[in-house]
Structure 1
């Protein structure tokens, strides 16, 4: 049996690896982007000089031949699902017995005049990075459009080379559709303190052509002209499925799949950013363009292809990022707007660049979420408390178990317990300081 996988990102590669672990089927991994799989989240570090491109490749070139995973570089232009054949841009055809669509995402464009000029680009593919690089020498000013995680990454990249950056965010506060108000305001302050020109409640209206097909400036919704030699479009991403929309494959915003990641067509699966669950788990979104969910989907698809029925379960939500110098972690349920059935404990350090938020049930007190800014907690410890619905007071008394590295990082559990006591009128006390040994014992219990 020949299994073709379109896309060599984390979802496609994980599918291939787990197929090989469980079978001797012929596997072909297809991509027009790069010869080998690389860590997409490390693109910014290549530009900033922290890593070489080769350093972002988790596997040596010999890995693929050793594991009998065929690599095919090329762009699939269309798919004949009836004949089970892929048509490549260069005219070549490839038959398959089973197909895995791991097509990833593409940066959003909203029909802005000038959006296709030279010197305009996103930050998703390796080609996007090359585009940034080719326009960086001598660049006097960059404008970035869109207030999400990719936008702040691109801003930091240009800033690392001392290229002035103006950051256009249409919302009243940075990423306030995800972050609660206090955390969002913290990042506003930090972006400005870092020397990035943050413009809130400001939208792109038009990108101006310099007369030679290159970006020369932007016009905002207020009528202001900002001269620039590069415009970064980072207003989110969408599933990369445009070439599939007039086929028999059922699509919504993404490719519609069931819990086994099967599409409506026989022998066709979809995983990662391009997959849209017909029925998402409670509290989760139908499309989640996150590295770890892509990896999990790849593993699940491999099991199902190999005749081991397995339902996709993303588990407890988590994510991490970096806002210039502030690290961010979230575990569980931390909505931007706290609902009535949820209570929240928020503590912020006097330096204004560290904060911990602990959400818990307003009725019975069980833990529901952690939001961490500039402070690290152990993933496994937080996940266990969330899975077991541990009471917030027990969590607070044992908060030292979550410290990522108490030998080298400051600890703030005393301040959090004090804040909770002030809020609740209780007199909780911390249990003795907890280190790695205690944390490991807790996880085994």
Structure 2
């Protein structure tokens, strides 16, 4: 295994629970044991969660079970012929089976001044620590990107007394992952909280003060937004360089089958770094979610133990912003009909996404029953009556 990712940690924990009789070695370029990443843009950033509470398990638990964590080291090369990996300290380590859980890296802006002090990205604990150290009441924070991470950080910053501006290049927030009704609801939520949210706004560069610290964000309309701190949150790309250099098939992710096996039967891959086959979908998918990382890790554990169980989980996601919990299940990008249940003005509603008469995705805002029922209906590929979904007098549970 490689990296202190949630996927790697879940796999190792699952192998321990199943009493896997062999030694596992987790190699990570981070100095920390596997930890949860969602709180990094939420409670951990707000200072409500201690670092130790993010760890999946104490370091000692892995070693007491007969496994090793080699932290602060990096795998530089895979030798598939001899089944060895070469590490950053020049040592080599042999393997019978190798699992790649290399995760993803943040997309970086290629714009003048993008390397100035005060411009941050958020992917790991160190990133959050660095950002939090520069946030204080009254400061001007500009967030480039109106996706999950950007909006979650915006909500935390506003609560902390900062003046927040969100710059989104697309025509609506969270456009890549949700429909217009959800986007409109969250746009209003953030603006009502006092944020300035500018849509259709592309960043073309950054300006510095006399000390080389970022002082302004230049946008395509010719204006400049004054700033003290910048967070760039424009997505991630799968970390596939190690797999590619080893000759493993990759296409916007390491290609794996429904048992998370790569093109080499001795090498598995899990988490954000993969494009995987799922018996639920016709085409390979790449998912950036906690649920995918956990489910693929469990599939990998079964594969390693010879108990092949194909990966067939329905993708699901969540986001907390202000007093709103958004829960999402399925993939809505190919829908041909949307059905709204409830009224967004009441702060609790859901959008059901249909394709050819059956439910393919649900976005639920403060409406957990819609998420739970929707998860079952999406998994079952059920044909559902649109009027029944929208009618508040019909219990959702009755549709399962």
Give the alignment's TM-score, normalised by structure 2: 0.88
Between the two proteins, the alignment pairs up a number of residues equal to 397
Q: Partners in 2 of 1:278 and 1:331 — Cα distance? A: 18
Please tell me whether the aligned partners of residues 22 and 306 of structure 1 are also in contact (alpha carbons under 8 angstroms).
no
The unaligned stretches of length 5 or more in structure 2 are none
- Which protein shows a greater Rg? 1
- Written as runs of structure 1 = structure 2, the 5 A alignment for 1:286-305 is 286-305=285-304
Which range moved further: 137-146 or 120-129? 137-146
1:12 match: 8
Please tell me whether the aligned partners of residues 148 and 175 of structure 1 are also in contact (alpha carbons under 8 angstroms).
yes
Q: Are residues 387 and 83 of structure 1, via their aligned partners in 2, closer, same or farther at CA, if it must alter by over 3 Å?
A: closer
Q: Are residues 31 and 164 of structure 1, via their aligned partners in 2, closer, same or farther at CA, if it must alter by over 3 Å?
A: same
1:79 match: 77
Q: Are residues 394 and 55 of structure 1, via their aligned partners in 2, closer, same or farther at CA, if it must alter by over 3 Å?
A: same
Which range moved further: 118-127 or 375-384? 375-384
| Secondary structure of residue in 1 paired with 2:222 | coil
What is the CA deviation profile of residues 55-98 of structure 1, one whole-angstrom value per residue up to 9, with x for unaligned ones? 22232343223322211112315113233333333334333222
Q: Partners in 2 of 1:395 and 1:94 — Cα distance? A: 60
1:125 is displaced (CA, Å) by 0.6
Please tell me whether the aligned partners of residues 76 and 87 of structure 2 are also in contact (alpha carbons under 8 angstroms).
yes
The unaligned stretches of length 5 or more in structure 1 are 400-415, 419-428
1:307 match: 306
Q: Partners in 1 of 2:275 and 2:117 — Cα distance? A: 32
| Secondary structure of residue in 2 paired with 1:162 | coil
- Written as runs of structure 1 = structure 2, the 5 A alignment for 1:42-441 is 42-43=39-40, 44-81=42-79, 82-137=81-136, 140-277=139-276, 281-282=280-281, 286-314=285-313, 316-332=314-330, 334-335=332-333, 338-339=335-336, 342=337, 344-351=339-346, 353-360=347-354, 367-377=359-369, 379-388=371-380, 392=384, 396=388, 416-417=390-391, 430=394
1:149 is displaced (CA, Å) by 0.3
Q: Partners in 2 of 1:280 and 1:384 — Cα distance? A: 16
Q: Are residues 211 and 283 of structure 1, via their aligned partners in 2, closer, same or farther at CA, if it must alter by over 3 Å?
A: farther
Q: Are residues 47 and 177 of structure 1, via their aligned partners in 2, closer, same or farther at CA, if it must alter by over 3 Å?
A: closer
2:20 match: 23
Say if 2:27 is the partner of 1:33. no
Q: Partners in 1 of 2:365 and 2:282 — Cα distance? A: 22
Q: Are residues 215 and 247 of structure 1, via their aligned partners in 2, closer, same or farther at CA, if it must alter by over 3 Å?
A: farther
| Secondary structure of residue in 2 paired with 1:310 | coil
Q: Are residues 394 and 220 of structure 1, via their aligned partners in 2, closer, same or farther at CA, if it must alter by over 3 Å?
A: closer
What is the CA deviation profile of residues 126-172 of structure 1, one whole-angstrom value per residue up to 9, with x for unaligned ones? 11112202322577211111121011122123223212111100111
Q: Partners in 1 of 2:257 and 2:280 — Cα distance? A: 11
RMSD: 3.0
Q: Partners in 1 of 2:283 and 2:326 — Cα distance? A: 20
Q: Partners in 2 of 1:63 and 1:77 — Cα distance? A: 23
Which range moved further: 68-77 or 206-215? 206-215
1:255 is displaced (CA, Å) by 1.4
